[in-house]
Amino acid sequence: MNNSITIFLFACMYMVLPIIYFMLRNLSKPKKNLILGVTLPLEARQEANVLNICRSYHKHLTATFLILTTLSFGAFFLDYMSVVMVYLLTWLLAAIIAPFVSYAVYHRKLKQLKHENNWIS
């Protein structure tokens, strides 16, 4: 009985992670002149430093996704439903916050690069 409830809760809560992952991954693709929420001149979009920041962001975001996915399976090794609920709700909070921390770090790096190069758009 508890196992079926755990599977249902896992399925409901896990869906949040791929949605956030693909939404944040999509922000690194140039849209007009926005990359990771930073407005850059059109010619700056192909700069090596900008591409390196985006590549590094993808790696960090994917690593965060894989770690959180691995941690989510810990719920199946717990015996009591109350502990499973606390574990999954804590995991859900981490699954919401951690990808946005990655985004914030790389947004700041790209913004700093913009100021260093005096890219005014």
State pLDDT tens for residues 4-24. Answer: 888 999 999 999 999 999 999
Residue 35 confidence (pLDDT): 92
In the numeric block, which tokens belong to residue 5? 């409830």
pLDDT at 1 over 60: no
Are the CB atoms for 2 and 78 separated by under 8 Å? Answer: no
pLDDT at 109 over 60: yes
Separation of alpha carbons 120 and 56, rounded Å: 24
The pTM is what? 0.89
Residue 12 confidence (pLDDT): 92
State pLDDT tens for residues 60-75. Answer: 999 999 999 999 999 9
